[in-house]
């Protein structure tokens, strides 16, 4: 586990952390008006996440971090932890790491400080099993903390622990309705791994409803393929590849679906597209 060092990062570190987190320049103008005025910004962000609007939550927290940078003030540790959790939930491990590091170094004796240190070590492949057990135990003593539960669930996906992960995601879905898209997407991945695709389909459909992106449609196609619902699977893959036509792996997943149903001609046609895209990528690399 990381050494328990209590020190405050300098201003340059704060600016770097903020820069890493900021991905869009504009803030949602109506964020404050859509939530209760008596809530703190962090409480409003958590309410957005619970309601399924993770991007609004991210914009709100981003704004707080921007403001602290402009005022040359250290960002609040809990705001940075919130930002890190959102990044890590999207499996943006490298972008989340400096945020978790800030939290751990600011105060490694708090619950979130300890969690940040454990997450950093797990993601760097150090003491993985022991640190995951400690992280899960930390949550067991703080079961009212949804962000901590979310990170335990996310690590279950990374560490290929589907049985535990399904249980933790089920708990998250009981806390949040509908909850963020990444909860449903990752929960469905784990259910598919356990050959429980009938249950996964509900969460795939919710993911597409919340964020109709190429990756959510691809996941829907994968689950429909596992269920043998070929026509619906083709429709999902068609939408996925329409949204991101230059992603070879999307076409490859569609080809795998064709192969699963014995459509060798359809698979071969799609593999031509895969090879074309891979060659294009290789050519740009040269």
In angstroms, rounded to a whole number, what is the distance separating the alpha carbons of residues 132 and 145? 17
* Mean pLDDT computed over 249-260: 98
DSSP string computed for 47-76: HHHHTT-HHHHHHHHHHHHHHHHHTT-PPP
What pLDDT score was predicted for residue 39? Answer: 87
Q: Which pLDDT band holds residue 221 (cuts at 50, 70, 90)?
A: very high
- Quote the tokens at residue 27: 């803030």
* Mean pLDDT computed over 171-195: 96
b/e code 18-57 from CB counts within 10 Å (16+ = b)? bebbeeeeeebeebeeebeeeeebbebbbbbbbbbbbbbb
* Mean pLDDT computed over 117-141: 97
* Mean pLDDT computed over 170-182: 95
b/e code 172-211 from CB counts within 10 Å (16+ = b)? bbeebebbbbbbbbbbbbbbbbeebbeebbebbebbbebb
Q: Confirm if 149 and 143 have CB atoms less than 8 A apart.
A: yes
Residue 26 clears pLDDT 60, i.e. is over it: no
Residue 24 clears pLDDT 50, i.e. is over it: no
Q: Confirm if 91 and 29 have CB atoms less than 8 A apart.
A: no
Residue 201 clears pLDDT 70, i.e. is over it: yes
* Mean pLDDT computed over 2-21: 44
Q: Which pLDDT band holds residue 36 (cuts at 50, 70, 90)?
A: low
Q: Confirm if 258 and 224 have CB atoms less than 8 A apart.
A: no
Q: For the chain, first and last CA: distance in Å?
A: 41
- Residue 162: φ, ψ to 5°: -65, -35
Q: Which pLDDT band holds residue 1 (cuts at 50, 70, 90)?
A: very low
The tens digit of pLDDT for each residue in 52-96 reads 999 999 999 999 999 998 999 999 999 999 999 999 999 999 999
SS3 213: coil
Q: Which helix (H) or strand (E) holds 268?
A: helix 264-285
Residue 28 clears pLDDT 60, i.e. is over it: no
What pLDDT score was predicted for residue 158? Answer: 95
* Mean pLDDT computed over 250-260: 98
Q: Mean pLDDT, the chain, as a whole number? A: 89
What pLDDT score was predicted for residue 126? Answer: 87
- Residue 67: φ, ψ to 5°: -60, -40
Q: Which pLDDT band holds residue 286 (cuts at 50, 70, 90)?
A: low
In angstroms, rounded to a whole number, what is the distance separating the alpha carbons of residues 286 and 281? 9
The tens digit of pLDDT for each residue in 131-164 reads 999 999 999 999 999 999 999 999 999 999 999 9
In angstroms, rounded to a whole number, what is the distance separating the alpha carbons of residues 252 and 38? 50
The percentage of the chain sitting over the pLDDT mark of 70, rounded to a whole number, equals 87
Residue 5 clears pLDDT 60, i.e. is over it: no
**Distance, C-alpha 11 to centroid of its chain:** 28
Going from the N-terminus, what domains does the chain have, and what CATH number goes with each? 11-156 (no CATH), 212-286 (1.25.40.10)
Q: Which pLDDT band holds residue 262 (cuts at 50, 70, 90)?
A: very high
Q: Which pLDDT band holds residue 29 (cuts at 50, 70, 90)?
A: very low
What pLDDT score was predicted for residue 284? Answer: 86
33: DSSP letter: G
**Distance, C-alpha 211 to centroid of its chain:** 13
């Amino acid at each position: 586990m990381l050494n328990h060092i209590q020190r405050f990062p300098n201003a340059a570190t704060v600016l770097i952390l903020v820069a890493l987190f900021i991905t869009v320049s504009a803030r949602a103008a109506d964020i404050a008006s859509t939530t209760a005025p008596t809530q703190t910004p962090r409480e409003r962000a958590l309410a957005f996440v619970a309601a399924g609007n993770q991007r609004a939550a991210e914009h709100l927290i981003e704004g707080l971090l921007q403001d602290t940078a402009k005022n040359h003030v250290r960002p609040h540790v809990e705001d940075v932890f919130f930002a890190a959790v959102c990044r890590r939930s999207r499996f943006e491990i490298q972008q989340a790491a400096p945020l978790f590091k800030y939290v751990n170094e600011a105060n490694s004796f708090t619950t979130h400080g300890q969690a940040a240190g454990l997450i950093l070590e797990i993601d760097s492949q150090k003491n993985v099993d022991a640190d995951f057990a400690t992280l899960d135990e930390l949550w067991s003593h703080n079961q009212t903390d949804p962000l901590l539960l979310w990170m335990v669930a996310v690590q279950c996906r990374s560490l290929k622990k589907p049985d535990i992960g399904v249980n933790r995601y089920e708990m998250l879905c009981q806390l949040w309705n509908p909850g963020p898209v990444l909860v449903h997407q990752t929960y469905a991945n784990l259910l598919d791994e356990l050959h429980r695709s009938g249950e996964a389909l509900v969460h795939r459909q919710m993911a597409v409803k919340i964020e109709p992106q190429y990756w959510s449609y691809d996941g829907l196609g994968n689950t429909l393929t596992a269920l043998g619902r070929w026509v619906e699977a083709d429709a999902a893959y068609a939408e996925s590849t329409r949204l991101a036509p230059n992603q070879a792996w999307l076409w490859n997943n569609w080809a795998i679906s064709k192969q699963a149903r014995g459509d060798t001609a359809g698979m071969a046609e799609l593999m031509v597209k895969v090879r074309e895209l891979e060659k294009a990528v290789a050519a740009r690399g040269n």
